[in-house]
Structure 1
């Protein structure tokens, strides 16, 4: 069972204006493994690399017009570190809220 989160931006236009920068942030993560043509990005924990033949990702990020949707299937330490780094980098540029699937503020 996966956990789902959504990153909401205080400035609704920030993501649209800075989409290339966000894509670069994601693709520069140590755990980044693939980008799909529809704005879907896959992360695979460094601890999971040996198991890659069994599954292709631990996290999928979907860039949408005003938010980023995250589906977390597994979160080994390398994934947690990369996600915290990504969220910190974004927070340096814009105020965000990360909400869980129930719309509750998450601890991320």
Structure 2
């Protein structure tokens, strides 16, 4: 398999569960990520910093490198179980005492 000749070709990143986070260069200073063929977020480069935005254009942070920004988006979109922590169940707090019927 040959290396992509066009920098805008999709490049897989670290796997997120069973599907990779794919990155495409949309412009000189914009990189777009997809997951399961759905938009996952983007990085814009401005004044030497990498500004990360999520799938709903919410600002997720400013990073020194594209690598750091990609890692942050990967962390944001991965399920908790894949990140290493299982989702927490509901907590009932103190256990309720059930009144026993009289005998």
Q: Same fold (TM over 0.5)?
A: no
Answer 1 or 2: higher relative contact order, Cα 8 Å, separation at least 6.
1
Q: Which entry has the higher C-alpha Rg, 1 or 2?
A: 2
Give TM-score, length-normalised by structure 1: 0.32
